[in-house]
Amino acid sequence: MYSNIIPFENIIDGIKDETGIQNLRNLYPMVRRFVYRAERDIGFGYGLLLKKIDYKKSDSTILDFKVRLPEDLILLEEAGTCRQGLCPEDYKHQGNFLFLCRDIDEFSLIYYAMLCDGEGNPAVTENHFDAIVAGVKFFMYQAKMWNNEGNSNYHKELKEYYFDRLGEAIGNDVMPSTDKEWAQIAQHLRMSYRDILIYSKDEKCFDCVPLSTNNEVLSLEGDQSDEMVHYWQYNDLASDISLAAAIDQTFLDAQNSETIQKFLEGFLIPWTNIGRIGLAITNVDEDYYQITDVFQQDITTIVFDKFYNSVTRTQIYISKEYYSHGNIYYELIKD
For the cut 90, the answer to whether the pLDDT of residue 189 exceeds it is no
pLDDT at 198: 42
Of the three residues 159, 187, 220, the one that is the final residue of a domain is: 220
Contact between 165 and 130 (Cβ < 8 Å):
yes
User: Exposed, middle or buried, 208 (CB in 10 Å: 0-12/13-18/19+)?
Assistant: exposed
* H/E stretch holding 272: none
**Residue type for position 22:** Q
DSSP letters for 100-132: ESS--SEEEEEEEEE-B-TTS-B-EEHHHHHHH
pLDDT at 2: 45
- Say yes or no: 295 and 150 in one domain: no
pLDDT at 222: 47
For the cut 50, the answer to whether the pLDDT of residue 299 exceeds it is yes
- Say yes or no: 118 and 216 in one domain: yes
- Say yes or no: 202 and 232 in one domain: no
Q: How far apart are CA 40 and CA 118, in angstroms?
A: 21
* H/E stretch holding 169: helix 152-173
Phi, psi of 304 (to 5 degrees): -120, 150
CB neighbourhood size of 308 (10 A) = 16
- Say yes or no: 213 and 299 in one domain: no
Tally of structural domains, the chain? 2
Mean model confidence pLDDT for the chain: 80
Residues 6 or more apart in contact with residue 157 via CB below 8 angstroms: none
Percent of the chain at pLDDT exceeding 90: 26
For the cut 90, the answer to whether the pLDDT of residue 156 exceeds it is yes
For the cut 90, the answer to whether the pLDDT of residue 157 exceeds it is yes
Q: What are the pLDDT digits (tens) for 28-54?
A: 888 888 998 898 888 876 667 778 888
Across 2-29, average pLDDT:
84
For the cut 50, the answer to whether the pLDDT of residue 98 exceeds it is yes
pTM, two decimals, is 0.49
- Say yes or no: 111 and 182 in one domain: yes
Measuring CA to CA, which residue among 108, 57, 55 is closest to residue 81? 108
Q: Which one has a higher pLDDT value, 193 or 113?
A: 113
pLDDT at 132: 93
pLDDT at 199: 42
Q: Give Cα 41 distance to the centre of its chain.
A: 17
Contact between 263 and 330 (Cβ < 8 Å):
yes
- Say yes or no: 42 and 188 in one domain: yes
Q: What are the pLDDT digits (tens) for 198-222?
A: 444 444 556 666 666 544 444 444 4
pLDDT at 216: 40
- Say yes or no: 33 and 112 in one domain: yes
For the cut 60, the answer to whether the pLDDT of residue 292 exceeds it is yes
Across 111-139, average pLDDT:
85
- Say yes or no: 39 and 143 in one domain: yes
- Say yes or no: 55 and 202 in one domain: yes
Containing domain of residue 96, as a range? 1-220
Of the three residues 198, 220, 242, the one that is the final residue of a domain is: 220
Q: How far apart are CA 318 and CA 233, in angstroms?
A: 9
Q: How far apart are CA 239 and CA 277, in angstroms?
A: 9
pLDDT at 226: 57
Of the three residues 220, 247, 268, the one that is the final residue of a domain is: 220
* H/E stretch holding 85: none
**Residue type for position 111:** Y
